[in-house]
Amino acid sequence: MNTSEFLKQINQYYPLSEETINALLNICTEDKYSKNDLLLESGSMARYYYFLKSGLVGYYTVDEKGESIYKIFFEENSFIASTAAIIKNQPSDFNIIALEDCSVIKYPVKAYRELLEQYHDLALFHMYYLEKNWVVKKEPLEVSLKYETAKQRYLLLLENLSLYNRLKQNQIASYLGITPTQLSRIKKDLS
């Protein structure tokens, strides 16, 4: 199992000691998911944290009409989990789906949380990761949903062209909180 990128990403947040690295890698396994496979199904307990080595993953829920509502997409070198479900120790409200064939490093929630208590440097990595990605990075997205038009949000998504080109139009519309027809109008306006 090649873990170099996994460790590189962790060390960007906080450097781990050799002892911590060995303990963490001891609970990790590698897994592959085919396109449309669920890593986690809504209503299930979140049993793993994931590091996405390759592929694209979507994080979504389903509304009362049965429509998928995408919250976020994860590209390579991302850490993925149903964080709220893990913290609350409750079944997830979200599905995590492979939008492309994926390769992941996964590690069990229970064993990882035990390591967080045992290794201070791992706990600091986890804290800094959550602060940056679930507070600092997420705040502008929450504000944009309240104050920006769908067209402005679309233009922001377009700035990440590598992600944009990997998504289907219905996924983009769902992420923006609009219908595919509204997305078509926005694209036509911008042409």
Task: Return the SS3 of 163.
Answer: helix
d(CA 41, CA 17): 34
Question: Residue 117 class from Cβ within 10 Å (0-12 exposed, 13-18 middle, 19+ buried)?
Answer: exposed
In angstroms, the CA 73 to CA 163 distance is: 8
Angle between helix 109-118 and helix 120-130 axes, rounded to 10 deg: 120
51 Cβ partners below 8 Å, 6+ apart?
6, 9, 77, 78, 79, 80, 104, 105, 106
Confidence at residue 137, expressed as pLDDT on a 0 to 100 scale: 66
Q: Is the dihedral of CA 18, 133, 128, 83 positive or negative?
A: negative
Mapped onto helix, strand or coil, the DSSP state of residue 160 is coil
Check residue 189 and give left, alpha or beta (phi > 0: left; psi -120 to 50: alpha). alpha
Q: What is the pLDDT of residue 138?
A: 67
Looking at residue 149, its pLDDT comes to 85
Write out the two tokens for 168.
């289907």
Angle at 74 between CA 188 and CA 155, to 5 degrees: 25
Q: What is the pTM of this model?
A: 0.90
Q: So what's the pLDDT on residue 156? A: 86
Dihedral through CA 108, CA 110, CA 116, CA 122, nearest 10? 0
User: Which mean pLDDT values do the consecutive 10-residue runs of the chain (191 residues) have?
Assistant: 96 97 98 98 98 98 92 95 95 97 98 98 97 75 70 88 93 91 92 85
Beta carbons of 76 and 23 less than 8 angstroms apart:
no
- Tell me whether strands 57-62 and 29-33 are parallel, antiparallel or unpaired: unpaired
The pLDDT assigned to 191 comes to 85
